[in-house]
């Protein structure tokens, strides 16, 4: 179909054999048999438990709550809420506990009813601990030892964080900034603030502190480096700068592993990065930065669907690519970060695919094309019309015979047209300018005569 | 020299050589007050003079006569006298007293309008205009009056003969405002929107220290014509005066709203917008133009379709541009083909329209001539530009301004900017061919 992708079709299969961890080796075209660990596996209902296992800390709770809210399926919702409940019970956030229990509403049996004694114990303990931390902090402050004050603030912030008072946690983490003495402290401070900000949804702070951390003179270790890349990618994703987001995710090193599960799982890096790259990169970029990127390939192995759809896209197998995307969609809509962007990204990817499809042809039969994109001819016509109007495809539609003809602008005519047009505009502007100049002259003459 | 009789005798005696005429001129000036006081009894003396030989004297008498308060009752007599005078007067002699001549013509115009026969005034006034004009580039105070009559008589074509001259020399900015505004209206009447836009653009961007009503009215029409022609209203160019820049939009709010609706909205929104401001448009007597804007929206949408489709059924066209029936769509397409706005053929058998590319191949004699004439015009313009540049660079006032930039007020700075732009332009023009101008123009900040 495309002349320039020789060897590409075969390549992914070979690579698979080298890198894959089983599952999809035998036939990468067929959707792999349920890789249970993937966050977005398969077209049917997602495996909430497997999904939750990818994350730790508050993000696990937040993601599960998000799923419970959005999934619209009672079984799944209860499953998610049950796991949230168990997770919270292990922590100390009594407010969230009350909320979750109210959401469960007794649907999970007596074991999940409101446990007043637990709440009381937690609250009492929290009260004591807070008092102790505050006392300690004021003691440190009177002693004026920088390091201790920093630790004091840090402890207090940690305490607030674990109790779900994110605003206070953020404030206290920021306060440690003045007491940081080494680069290590600065990086730690930045990572803490990034963590809280992501949960607060304040991505301005995220990108600020990412750049602050990257500016520290000391060489960052590769894990921190990867973490910062992910955080920056998330920040760009939220601000809809998909190309930049894709770059950041693609630059993430494989060292990330499971070190940042309180924010993002490596599977997410693959999904977010892959989709953003598809939506925003051109063909060569896609090849150089995604398909040939060894680091990123490791991530892609974790989510074979995304890898497959990227390869399909590059090899112009749009039907299969779009099928993968459709399969992924319900799960992606349940992702706490990606859900708002799914529609835009999908639309962009689709447009890219249509443009790429039409590019090498002089004429395209709309029926064939519609079946390749699994849509009706009328629908395809509308899409093409929009793209032609935006000047993204140079072609015209023969709506009678349902054929798309590429349109090659006649350079000579266009030049003549433009020259004549420009000449006319020029003439008009010069005339208007001469007139204005004469008016000015007249005015200044009046002024001088008035003066004398 | 008190009595009019004596004066008439002098006029008859002193209308030979230029020296005599000059003497007569000073004599007439002295007796201006006498003439004015006796305005009422001047009429019988006029037939004693020959308008072609005694032009100057005749002019003074006529001017005094025209200031008479109860002229109205004898309007038709006055009109016929003036017509004859304009036709036969000597060009040299009227140029000795142009303000008198213009005043006579102005009261002539008033009388014609009062008699409600504007058409009768057109030919004499054009003759008068040509006689008083020293070159075809000069704007006389008679220009706006002439165009007013053309507009009132709906003789738009008659207006064109004057409008086709390029005007560069202007004595009174007020005349220019009116001339361009009326010129815009005449061009609108003839549906020559490109020219109309040019005229109105001149009014809107002319240098002015305070906003005037003509500019406001012109801007209203400017918005509408821009919409018809280009589908959008350009923002003010940077040479627009500060007064216009600051105030124009607030005075023309309904029109600005309309333009916004046009850019973003659908038909229903646009029509609702017209309905809300209907009274305003009506009182500005711009409703006809507003309706043309509406139909241009259909045209624009159809034109867009020609960019995307090779063939399209009439039904689909009707759907795409929100027309009710395929029949209506056919009418629109047909009209556009007739006007040369699109290139298409309609196949009535299966209700299909096939759109074609512009068949112009730019290789006919006619086209070459057209291009050649355009090049000639540009070369003439560039010559004018360089002579003006020379003129300015030798002007002591300009040089003083350039050398002492410290004492500049903002207004001066603005005109300076304009002047230096010229310089750049003309330097480049001096030795360059057409294509160079084009490329320069494309890259220049002027765009």
Q: Please judge whether A422 and B442 are an interchain contact, meaning their C-beta atoms are less than 8 angstroms apart.
A: yes
Query: How does pLDDT run across A296-325, given as a tens digit for each residue?
Result: 888 888 888 889 889 999 888 888 888 888
Average pLDDT over residues B127-153: 89
Cα dihedral value B297, B299, B304, B306, nearest 10: 170
Q: How many CB pairs under 8 A join A and B?
A: 124
To the nearest whole percent, how much of chain A has pLDDT over 70?
A: 88
**B418: which chain A residues are within 8 Å (Cβ-Cβ)?**
433, 436-437, 440
- Confidence check: pLDDT of A230 > 60: yes
Element (H, E) at B366: helix B365-393
In terms of Cβ atoms closer than 10 Å to its own Cβ (0-12, 13-18, 19+), residue B217 is buried
Specify the pLDDT at position A78. 85
DSSP state of A111: G
Average pLDDT over residues A240-255: 89
CB B64 within 8 Å of CB B39:
yes
Specify the pLDDT at position B404. 56
More confident residue, B319 or A30: B319
- What are the residues whose beta carbons fall under 8 Å from the beta carbon of A239, sequence distance 6 or more? A203
Computed over its alpha carbons, how large is the radius of gyration of chain A?
A: 29
Lowest mean pLDDT among A18-32, B155-169, B295-309: A18-32
Question: A362: distance to nearest CA of chain B, Å?
Answer: 14
At A373, phi and psi to the nearest 5? -100, 5
Torsion A310-A312-A316-A320 (CA) sign: negative
Six token digits for residue A430: 């010069």
DSSP B182-210: HHHHHHHHTT-HHHHHHHHHHHHHS--SS
More confident residue, A111 or A361: A361
At A38, phi and psi to the nearest 5? -65, 145
Query: How does pLDDT run across B7-43, given as a tens digit for each residue?
Result: 888 888 777 777 888 888 888 888 888 777 777 777 7
Residue in chain A nearest B418 by alpha carbon: A437
Query: How does pLDDT run across A265-286, given as a tens digit for each residue?
Result: 888 888 999 999 989 888 888 8
Q: Please judge whether A397 and B308 are an interchain contact, meaning their C-beta atoms are less than 8 angstroms apart.
A: yes
- Confidence check: pLDDT of A106 > 80: no
- DSSP 3-state of A404: strand
Model confidence band, residue A451 (pLDDT cutoffs 50, 70, 90):
low
Model confidence band, residue B217 (pLDDT cutoffs 50, 70, 90):
very high
Specify the pLDDT at position A22. 38
Element (H, E) at B19: helix B18-30
Q: What is the mean pLDDT of chain A?
A: 81
Average pLDDT over residues A313-340: 87
Residue in chain B nearest A417 by alpha carbon: B362
Average pLDDT over residues B170-193: 90
Specify the pLDDT at position A44. 54
Q: Please judge whether B374 and A439 are an interchain contact, meaning their C-beta atoms are less than 8 angstroms apart.
A: no
Query: How does pLDDT run across B234-286, given as a tens digit for each residue?
Result: 888 888 888 888 888 889 999 998 898 888 767 888 888 889 998 999 998 89
Closest CA to B241 of A439, A449, A374: A439
Specify the pLDDT at position B265. 64
- Confidence check: pLDDT of A99 > 50: yes
Specify the pLDDT at position A448. 67
Specify the pLDDT at position B196. 93
Query: Measured between CB atoms, does A427 come within 8 Å of chain B?
Result: yes
Q: Please judge whether A405 and B312 are an interchain contact, meaning their C-beta atoms are less than 8 angstroms apart.
A: no
Specify the pLDDT at position B360. 80
Contacts 24+ apart (CB under 8 A), B426-429: B426/B382, B426/B385, B426/B386, B426/B388, B426/B389, B427/B389, B429/B382, B429/B385, B429/B386
Report d(CA A181, CA A174) in Å as an integer. 14
Report d(CA B202, CA B240) in Å as an integer. 10
Specify the pLDDT at position B35. 79
Q: Please judge whether A422 and B441 are an interchain contact, meaning their C-beta atoms are less than 8 angstroms apart.
A: yes
Model confidence band, residue A433 (pLDDT cutoffs 50, 70, 90):
confident
Residue in chain B nearest A394 by alpha carbon: B308
Model confidence band, residue A177 (pLDDT cutoffs 50, 70, 90):
confident
Residue in chain B nearest A388 by alpha carbon: B308
Q: What's the ipTM?
A: 0.76
Specify the pLDDT at position A45. 64
CA distances from A24 to A7, A265, A291, A388, B5 (A): 20, 21, 17, 39, 121
Element (H, E) at A403: strand A403-406
At A316, phi and psi to the nearest 5? 65, 30
**B357: which chain A residues are within 8 Å (Cβ-Cβ)?**
410
Specify the pLDDT at position B417. 46
HSE value, Cβ hemisphere, 13 Å, CA-based, for B117: 12
Residues of chain A numbered 99-138 and touching chain B (CB < 8 Å): none
Average pLDDT over residues A33-49: 51
Give which of B139, B311, B425 to mutate to test A binding, by max A Cβ within 10 Å.
B311
Query: Measured between CB atoms, does A429 come within 8 Å of chain B?
Result: yes
**B313: which chain A residues are within 8 Å (Cβ-Cβ)?**
399-400
- Confidence check: pLDDT of B405 > 60: no
Longest CA span, chain B: 91
Specify the pLDDT at position A13. 38
Specify the pLDDT at position B401. 66
DSSP state of A291: I
pTM exceeds 0.80, yes or no: no
Query: How does pLDDT run across B65-111, given as a tens digit for each residue?
Result: 887 767 677 788 888 888 888 888 888 888 888 888 898 898 888 88
CA distances from B46 to B4, B43, B59, B91 (A): 11, 6, 10, 19
- Residue B170, beta-bridge partner list: B139
Query: Measured between CB atoms, does A397 come within 8 Å of chain B?
Result: yes
């Amino acid at each position: 179909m495309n002349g320039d992708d020789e060897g590409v079709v075969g390549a992914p299969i070979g690579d698979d054999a080298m890198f894959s961890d089983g599952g999809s080796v035998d036939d990468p075209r067929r959707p792999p048999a349920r890789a249970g660990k993937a966050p977005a596996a398969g077209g049917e209902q997602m495996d909430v438990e497997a999904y939750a296992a990818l994350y730790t800390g508050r993000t696990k709770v937040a993601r599960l709550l998000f799923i419970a809210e959005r999934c619209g399926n009672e079984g799944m919702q209860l499953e998610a809420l049950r796991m949230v409940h168990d997770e919270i019970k292990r922590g100390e956030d009594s407010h969230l506990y009350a909320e979750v229990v109210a959401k469960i509403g007794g649907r999970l049996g007596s074991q999940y009813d409101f446990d007043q004694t637990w709440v009381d114990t937690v609250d009492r303990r929290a009260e004591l601990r807070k008092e102790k931390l505050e006392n300690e902090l004021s003691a440190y402050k009177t002693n004026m030892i920088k390091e201790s004050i920093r630790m004091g603030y840090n402890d207090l912030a940690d305490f607030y964080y674990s109790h779900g008072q994110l605003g206070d946690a953020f404030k206290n983490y920021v306060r440690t900034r003045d007491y940081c003495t080494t680069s290590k402290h600065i990086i730690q401070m930045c990572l803490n603030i990034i963590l809280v900000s992501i949960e607060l949804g304040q991505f301005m702070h995220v990108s600020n502190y990412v750049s602050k951390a990257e500016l520290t003179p000391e060489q960052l270790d590769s894990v921190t480096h990867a973490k910062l890349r992910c955080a920056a990618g998330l920040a760009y994703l939220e601000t809809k700068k998909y190309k930049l987001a894709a770059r950041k995710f693609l630059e993430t090193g494989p060292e990330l592993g499971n070190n940042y599960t309180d924010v993002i799982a490596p599977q997410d890096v693959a999904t977010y990065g892959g989709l953003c790259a598809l939506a925003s990169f051109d063909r060569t970029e896609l090849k150089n930065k995604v398909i040939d990127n060894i680091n990123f390939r490791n991530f892609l192995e974790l989510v074979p669907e995304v890898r497959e759809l990227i390869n399909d896209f590059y090899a112009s197998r749009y039907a299969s690519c779009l099928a993968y995307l459709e399969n992924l969609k319900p799960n992606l809509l349940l992702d706490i970060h990606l859900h708002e962007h799914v529609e835009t990204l999908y639309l962009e990817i689709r447009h890219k695919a249509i443009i790429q499809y039409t590019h090498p042809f002089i004429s395209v039969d709309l029926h064939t094309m519609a079946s390749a994109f699994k849509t009706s001819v009328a629908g395809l016509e509308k899409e093409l019309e929009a793209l032609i109007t935006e000047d993204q495809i140079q072609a015209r539609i023969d709506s009678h015979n349902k054929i798309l003809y590429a349109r090659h602008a006649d350079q000579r005519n266009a030049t003549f047209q433009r020259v004549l047009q420009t000449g006319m505009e020029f003439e008009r502007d010069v005339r208007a300018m001469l007139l204005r100049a004469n008016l000015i002259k007249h005015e200044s003459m009046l002024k001088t005569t008035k003066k004398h | 020299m008190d009595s009019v009789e004596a004066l008439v005798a002098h006029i008859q005696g002193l209308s030979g050589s230029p020296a005599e005429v000059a003497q007569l001129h000073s004599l007439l000036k002295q007796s201006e007050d006498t003439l004015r006081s006796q305005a009422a009894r001047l009429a019988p003396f006029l037939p004693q003079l020959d308008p072609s030989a005694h032009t100057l004297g005749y002019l003074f008498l006529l001017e005094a006569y025209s200031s008479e308060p109860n002229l109205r009752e004898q309007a038709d007599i006055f009109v016929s006298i003036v017509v004859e005078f304009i036709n036969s007067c000597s060009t040299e002699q009227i140029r000795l007293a142009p303000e008198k001549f213009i005043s006579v013509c102005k009261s002539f115009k008033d009388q014609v309008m009062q008699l409600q026969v504007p058409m009768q005034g057109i030919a004499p006034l054009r003759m008068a205009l040509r006689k008083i004009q020293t070159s075809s580039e000069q704007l006389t105070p008679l220009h706006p009056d002439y165009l007013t009559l053309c507009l009132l008589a709906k003789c738009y074509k008659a207006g064109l003969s004057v409008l086709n001259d390029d005007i560069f020399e202007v004595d009174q900015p007020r005349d220019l405002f009116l001339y361009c505004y009326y010129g815009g209206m005449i061009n609108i009447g003839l549906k020559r929107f490109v020219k109309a836009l040019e005229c109105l653009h001149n009014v809107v961007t002319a240098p002015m220290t305070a906003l005037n009503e003509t500019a406001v009215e012109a801007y209203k029409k400017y918005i509408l014509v821009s919409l018809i022609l280009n589908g959008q209203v350009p923002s003010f160019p940077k040479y627009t005066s500060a007064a216009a820049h600051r105030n124009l939009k607030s005075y023309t709010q309904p029109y600005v709203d309309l333009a916004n609706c046009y850019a973003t909205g659908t038909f229903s929104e646009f029509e609702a917008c017209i309905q809300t401001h209907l009274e305003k448009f009506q009182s500005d007597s711009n409703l006809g133009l507003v309706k043309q804007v509406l139909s241009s929206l259909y045209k624009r949408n159809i034109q867009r379709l020609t960019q995307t489709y090779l063939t399209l059924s009439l039904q689909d066209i009707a759907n795409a541009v929100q027309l009710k029936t395929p029949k209506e769509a056919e009418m629109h397409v047909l009209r556009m083909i007739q006007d040369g706005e699109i290139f298409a053929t309609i196949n009535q058998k299966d209700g299909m329209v096939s759109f074609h590319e512009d068949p112009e191949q730019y290789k006919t004699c006619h086209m070459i001539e057209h291009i050649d004439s355009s090049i000639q015009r540009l070369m003439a313009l560039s010559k004018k530009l360089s002579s003006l540049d020379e003129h300015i660079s030798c002007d002591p006032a300009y040089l003083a301004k350039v050398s002492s930039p410290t004492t500049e007020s903002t207004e001066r700075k603005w005109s300076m900017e304009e002047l230096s732009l010229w310089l750049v332009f003309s330097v480049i023009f001096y030795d360059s061919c057409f294509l160079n101008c084009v490329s320069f123009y494309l890259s220049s900040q002027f765009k």
